[in-house]
Amino acid sequence: MTSELNEFRILDLFCGAGGLSWGMHKNPYFKTMVALDFDEKAVATFKNNMPDSDVLVGDITDAAVKEKVVSLSKKKGVNMIVGGPPCQGYSMKGKKLGLDDPRNFLFREYLDLVEKLQPDVFVIENVKGLLLSANGWFKDEIVKAVKKLGYTIEFDILNAADFGVPQSRERAIFICSKHGAISLPKPTVNKCVTVREAIEDLAYLESGQGAFEQEYITRPKSEYQIKIRGKSTKLYNHKASNHKQVAIDKLKLIPPEQGKECLPEELHGKQKFKTTWGRLKWDAVSPTIDTRFDASSNGTNNHPFLHRAITPREAARIQSFDDEFVFLGAKVHIRKQIGNAVPPLLAEAIANRIADYFGLKRE
């Protein structure tokens, strides 16, 4: 399709550290003008990496904050909205009120901003449970609300691994448009990128070692590592958790790429999940990175052979953040920023699909 649209000026809601915007910026036709989140630590990271965006800290339910977002967005010529509103009420119990359920007010606030700003396109990103829960009833509520606003809507579950992200991470993606139905992107890779391809060049720190900023001491060992290092001249956020000796001793009992099944039963601990104390497998994709990836007992977050959990930089690589993207704040804030992020390569694929739909050519 062709259209007058040749530039997408984005409002990024619930922006977090900025995975969606960072990925979309890889396409030259997309630029985040305004971003909002209530987490000031995440906003500091966003602003540090994308200084040209106006990034606001505030609660979207606060009328004054919302008024500021609307005013700034109009001033900046925003014609696209992206974001993943947290959504609590899509259980059978939530059916009674649907989008009027107070637990889903953040979804309402997102759609209210769509109504006020009338963007040409908006993208909703959420957990895959949004499509599946309550026999799809909640998904139908969203579709109905979006169509009522005058938009066509296309949606499905996408796995980040299909777009070059070295991680199995399934997300529900909705692309909504005033200009006809925009289908979701098709997979961009035939072969998944593995954990080895993502982080093998960083496999030298032991528990407690590393620093916020350091020199690269190895050469890249894969195309992915060359691409992800990009223009970065220093290595940031590559600092290993300082594990207790008891945790290190436990990891020493687990052979490379193995897990809890190798521990004697008395060392299994209280966690009943089979995945706890797991090591990543070199030649597979990582399971979904969460906000506790730095704890060796949390899940399959341990290094394939070193006696530690993965570092924030290794987790960021597995999320497909470029090395030049620097995370700010204390460890507890950084792990949340990384674990909650939309993988940039998935966001880039969505932007590319939208650009292609409007006939915008990339080099």
What distances in angstroms separate CA 236 from CA 16, 215, 323, one per listed residue? Answer: 19, 9, 7
Q: What mean pLDDT is predicted for residues 182-200?
A: 97
- Identify which has the larger pLDDT, 287 or 91: 287
Q: What mean pLDDT is predicted for residues 181-202?
A: 97
- Identify which has the larger pLDDT, 132 or 28: 28
Domain CATH number, residue 221: 3.90.120.10
- Identify which has the larger pLDDT, 33 or 361: 33
Find the domain containing 159 and state its range: 8-189+343-357
The predicted-structure confidence for 247-282, as pLDDT tens digits, reads as follows 898 888 887 867 777 776 656 566 555 567 889 999
Model confidence at 17: pLDDT above 70: yes
The catalytic residue positions are 87
- 186 pLDDT band, cuts 50/70/90, is very high
Residue 340 pLDDT: 94
Q: What mean pLDDT is predicted for residues 186-207?
A: 97
Asked if the structure places residue 273 within a domain, the reply is: yes
Asked if the structure places residue 1 within a domain, the reply is: no
For residues 119 and 78, the answer to whether their CB atoms sit within 8 Å is yes
Q: Looking at the structure, do residues 53 and 84 belong to the same domain, yes or no?
A: yes
Mean pLDDT over the full length of the chain: 90
Total structural domains within the chain: 2
Q: Residue 283's CB: how many other CB atoms inside 10 A?
A: 11
Q: Looking at the structure, do residues 107 and 159 belong to the same domain, yes or no?
A: yes
Residue 16 pLDDT: 96
- 132 pLDDT band, cuts 50/70/90, is confident
Model confidence at 176: pLDDT above 70: yes
Q: Looking at the structure, do residues 263 and 134 belong to the same domain, yes or no?
A: no
Mean pLDDT is lowest, of 28-32, 276-280, 353-357, for: 276-280
Calpha distance 359→42 (Å, rounded): 34
- 2 pLDDT band, cuts 50/70/90, is very low
Look at residues 193, 219, 203 and name the one whose alpha carbon lies nearest to residue 283.
193
Structure token pair of residue 194: 């593995």
For residues 178 and 207, the answer to whether their CB atoms sit within 8 Å is no
Mean pLDDT is lowest, of 7-11, 147-151, 299-303, for: 299-303
Asked if the structure places residue 31 within a domain, the reply is: yes
Calpha distance 224→260 (Å, rounded): 30
Asked if the structure places residue 3 within a domain, the reply is: no
Calpha distance 178→199 (Å, rounded): 41
Model confidence at 87: pLDDT above 90: no
Mean pLDDT is lowest, of 9-13, 47-51, 174-178, 291-295, for: 291-295
3-state DSSP call for residue 103? helix
Q: Looking at the structure, do residues 124 and 251 belong to the same domain, yes or no?
A: no
Model confidence at 92: pLDDT above 60: no
For residues 338 and 327, the answer to whether their CB atoms sit within 8 Å is yes
Asked if the structure places residue 75 within a domain, the reply is: yes
Task: Give the position of tokens 């991470």.
Answer: 169
Which residues are CB-contacts of 137 (< 8 A; sequence separation ≥ 6)? 95
Q: Looking at the structure, do residues 180 and 40 belong to the same domain, yes or no?
A: yes
Domain CATH number, residue 140: 3.40.50.150
For residues 90 and 138, the answer to whether their CB atoms sit within 8 Å is yes
Q: Looking at the structure, do residues 147 and 203 belong to the same domain, yes or no?
A: no
Look at residues 164, 228, 229, 170 and name the one whose alpha carbon lies nearest to residue 192.
164
Q: Looking at the structure, do residues 210 and 332 belong to the same domain, yes or no?
A: yes
> Given strand 170-177, what is the order of strands in its sheet?
54-57, 30-37, 8-13, 80-83, 121-127, 170-177, 152-159
The DSSP bridge partners found for residue 9 are: 31
Mean pLDDT is lowest, of 46-50, 182-186, 193-197, 357-361, for: 357-361
- 123 pLDDT band, cuts 50/70/90, is very high
Q: Looking at the structure, do residues 258 and 109 belong to the same domain, yes or no?
A: no
Structure token pair of residue 298: 């949390």
Q: Looking at the structure, do residues 83 and 127 belong to the same domain, yes or no?
A: yes
Residue 335 pLDDT: 96
Calpha distance 333→318 (Å, rounded): 18
Q: What mean pLDDT is predicted for residues 332-349?
A: 97
Q: Which pTM value belongs to this model?
A: 0.93
Residue 1 pLDDT: 46
Residue 298 pLDDT: 76
Q: Looking at the structure, do residues 199 and 333 belong to the same domain, yes or no?
A: yes
Asked if the structure places residue 210 within a domain, the reply is: yes
Residue 97 pLDDT: 54
The predicted-structure confidence for 148-175, as pLDDT tens digits, reads as follows 999 999 999 999 999 999 999 999 999 9
The pairing of strands 210-214 and 170-177 is unpaired
Q: Looking at the structure, do residues 203 and 185 belong to the same domain, yes or no?
A: no
Q: What percent of the chain has pLDDT over 70?
A: 90
Asked if the structure places residue 170 within a domain, the reply is: yes
Asked if the structure places residue 363 within a domain, the reply is: no
Q: Looking at the structure, do residues 43 and 153 belong to the same domain, yes or no?
A: yes
